[in-house]
Amino acid sequence: MDPASGRTIQDLSDIPGLHIQTNVPLSGHTRFGIGGAADLFVETKLEAAFLSALRVIRHSGIPCVIVGAGSNLIVSDAGYRGVVLKFSGGTMEELPGSKVHVQAGAVLQSLVDFTTAHGLQGMETMTGIPGFTGAAIYGNAGAYGHSMHEIVDSVRFFDGNAVRKITNSEVEFRYRESIFKRHKDWIILSAVLQLRPGDAAALQATSARILDIRNQKYPPSMKCAGSIFKNYLFQQLPADVQAQVPGNVIIEGKVPSAWFLDQVGARGTRLGDIHVADYHANLIYNAGSGSAADLTAVIRDLKSRVTGRWGIPLEEEVQYVGFD
Ligand SMILES: Cc1cc2nc3c(=O)[nH]c(=O)nc-3n(C[C@H](O)[C@H](O)[C@H](O)COP(=O)(O)OP(=O)(O)OC[C@H]3O[C@@H](n4cnc5c(N)ncnc54)[C@H](O)[C@@H]3O)c2cc1C
């Protein structure tokens, strides 16, 4: 309880529109299918309820983590001691000037389908990226040479005290980074996207073509998080490493971490049910009933192999929940 406000976690049950559950296995809320129980799992589609819950939780002092669809999460086998809060409000609305207002809980694929059907260009290459729009902004998700930073006009978020709005440049987007990764207590509520007029049929055809390719690489039933590690920005690699990277593996200024992982024999590595794909060294999946302990052990092993051989750190793209 927060002595100043007198608010406790029990106050959550007074907020209409919240679905509150106790002792919820997070394996059911992550694409990896891994993770122990959360003390409390609270979900809502209503922004007002979400904000009220954030305020109560903040004042209670209880630890809290926000999740979307759980497609980029590794949750510890011990679960999470605190509140896991999920906002699934997903309204989308076209605004004048090829803009779209979208809530953070909108499924990204629904947003791709909405924008392409409305003849709005800019999201079609993001087809097949699992998860919600809020998390896609948080991690500047992207694919096929494009990412969220190109289309985000402004973002509304709760900063722990008040709702604020910041513009694209203030979000400080970088490769798979935004200001929200550095301010974990800033919670995205909605965004306005700036798209361009396009031909709906052509955009839908592009999106369908990419989705086919992606479904082969990441079968929809695969328990994984997409790429585990970020790629490297070529310019940021030490000169001696740059000199060893063949020119044809550099794509849009990045060297896939899979290339480095291939050099250290990562493909096919296994520990229990945790497997590194034999066709892609930066893809780790849970082949059955894998554990977070095995998953993090494989990640540590791959990181140490790459650092040992090249002297460069591999940085995770996935986000951890429930680890100290
Ligand atoms: C098969 C597969 C393929 C993938 N391919 C790609 C790809 O091509 N490109 C790519 O970029 N990613 C890819 N990913 C990763 C993943 O889809 C993205 O990271 C996605 O944006 C995660 O969305 P989510 O809703 O599942 O977020 P979660 O995994 O639930 O959460 C991710 C992070 O976002 C934070 N977060 C969630 N919602 C909010 C909010 N409202 N405000 C603030 N923080 C929030 C969470 O706290 C957490 O740290 C792939 C994943 C899978 C499983």
pLDDT per residue over 101-118, tens digit each?
999 999 999 999 999 999
Question: d(Cα 223, Cα 318) in Å, to the nearest integer?
Answer: 14
Report the relative pairing of strands 19-25 and 37-44 from DSSP bridges: antiparallel
pLDDT at 11: 87
Around 196, how many Cα atoms within 13 Å sit in the side-chain half-sphere? 7
Q: Answer yes or no: is pLDDT of 261 > 70.
A: yes
Percent of the residues in the chain that have a pLDDT greater than 70, as a whole number? 98
Q: Is 58 a catalytic residue?
A: no
Residue 240 C-alpha to ligand 1 middle, in angstroms? Answer: 33
- Catalytic residue chosen out of the listed positions 147, 190, 227, 257: 227
CATH class, range 92-203: alpha beta
Q: Which regions of the chain carry the CATH code 3.90.78.10?
A: 219-321
Give the chain's length. Answer: 324
Return the best residue to mutate from 83, 125, 138 for the ligand 1 pocket (most ligand atoms within 8 A of CB).
138
pLDDT-based confidence at residue 49 (cuts at 50, 70, 90)? very high
CA–CA gap between residue 54 and residue 186 (Å, rounded) = 10
**Which band of pLDDT confidence, cut at 50, 70 and 90, is reported for residue 9?**
confident
Q: Which of 7, 176, 214, 305 is catalytic?
A: 176
DSSP β-bridge partners for residue 169: none
- pLDDT bin (cut points 50, 70, 90) of residue 46 is very high
Q: Ligand 1, from 32, 43, 54, 71: best to mutate by most atoms within 8 Å of Cβ? A: 71
Across residues 279-295, what is the average pLDDT?
97
Distance 135 CA to ligand 1 centre (A): 5
- CATH class of segment(s) 219-321: alpha beta
- Tokens 């991690």: give the residue: 139
Residues of the chain with CATH 3.30.465.10: 92-203
The answer to whether residue 1 scores a pLDDT higher than 60 is: no
52: left (phi over 0), alpha (psi -120 to 50) or beta: alpha
pLDDT in tens, 147-190: 999 999 999 999 999 999 999 999 999 999 999 999 999 999 99
Atom of ligand 1 nearest to the CA of 132: 25
Give the pLDDT of residue 7. 59
Q: How many CB atoms sit inside 10 A of residue 42's CB?
A: 24
Q: State yes or no: pLDDT of 233 exceeds 50.
A: yes
- CATH 3.30.43.10 segments of the chain: 9-87
Q: What is the mean pLDDT of residues 237-261?
A: 95
Find out if CATH 3.40.190.10 is the number for domain 9-87. no
Residues 6+ apart with CB under 8 A from 104: 68, 87, 89, 132, 133, 134, 135, 137, 188, 189, 190, 191
Specify whether 124 is catalytic: no
Q: How confident is the model at residue 2 (pLDDT cuts 50, 70, 90)?
A: very low
* Residue 176 annotated to the active site: yes
pLDDT band at 6 (very low <50, low <70, confident <90, very high): low
CA 276 centroid distance within chain? 20
Alpha carbon of 69 to ligand 1 centroid (Å) = 7
